[in-house]
Every structure is written in structure tokens, then in C-alpha cells.
Structure 1
Amino acid sequence: MGSKTGKFLGVPYDWRRPTMERTKSRWWNPDEPRLFTPKVVGWGWDVNLARLFGRRR
């Protein structure tokens, strides 16, 4: 059985059960420099909305 997190063909995946902490860190994290972060659950990327809207702490 393979790992629940990692990359396949350069695309990140995470098959763990989502947590509120991980969801917040991927969807709304002003300290994260990336606009696109690995998906909370599944294969691909999510958008860091704090970065998109230019929010800072």
C-alpha cells in the first residue's frame, strides 16, 4: 500500500481525513507565500485565499 501523502507526476495528493487545522493552513494562511497549496484532501491544488486577497497578519 502506498503513502497517503506525496506527489504523483509532480501533482501533490493527500488522502488523509481532513482536519480543521490543515484546511485553514491551506485555504487561509497569510504566512504562506504560495498562492496554490496542496489540496486538503484529494489530488491537486487549493487556492490560499489570504494570499489571493492580499491579506497579511
Structure 2
Amino acid sequence: MGSKTGKFLGVPYDWRRPTLDRTRSRWWNPDDPRLFTPKVLGWGYDLNFARLFGRHPKN
């Protein structure tokens, strides 16, 4: 059986059961510089809405 996480043809996948922490870190994470993050569940990308709306970490 293959891995539940990784990349296929350069696109990330994650077949683990989603958790609240992982969902939050992928959908709203101002500390992550990426706009596109690996999907919480499935193959492809999600949006980091914190970056989309210009939220940056407070210093």
C-alpha cells in the first residue's frame, strides 16, 4: 500500500482523515508565506485565506 501523503506528478496529496489543526494551518495561516497550500484532504491545493486577504503575522 502506498503512502497516505506525498506528491504525484508534482502535485501534493493527503488521504489522512482531516483534523481541525491541519485544516486551520492550511486554510488560515498568516505565518505560512504560501498562498496555495496542500489540500487538507485529497489531491491538489487549497488557498491560505490569511495570505489572500493580506494578513501578516504581528511582530
Over aligned residue pairs, what C-alpha RMSD do you find? 0.5
Q: CA deviation at 1:56?
A: 1.9
TM-score, normalization by structure 2: 0.94
Runs of 4+ in structure 1 off by over 4 angstroms are none
Does structure 1 residue 40 correspond to structure 2 residue 40? yes
Unaligned runs of 5+ in 1: none
For each residue in 1:5-57, what CA deviation from the matched residue of structure 2 results, as whole angstroms up to 9, or x when unmatched? 00000000000000000000000000000000000000000000000000123
In the other structure, the counterpart of 1:54 is: 54
| Identity percentage of aligned residues | 82
In the other structure, the counterpart of 1:15 is: 15
Unaligned runs of 5+ in 2: none
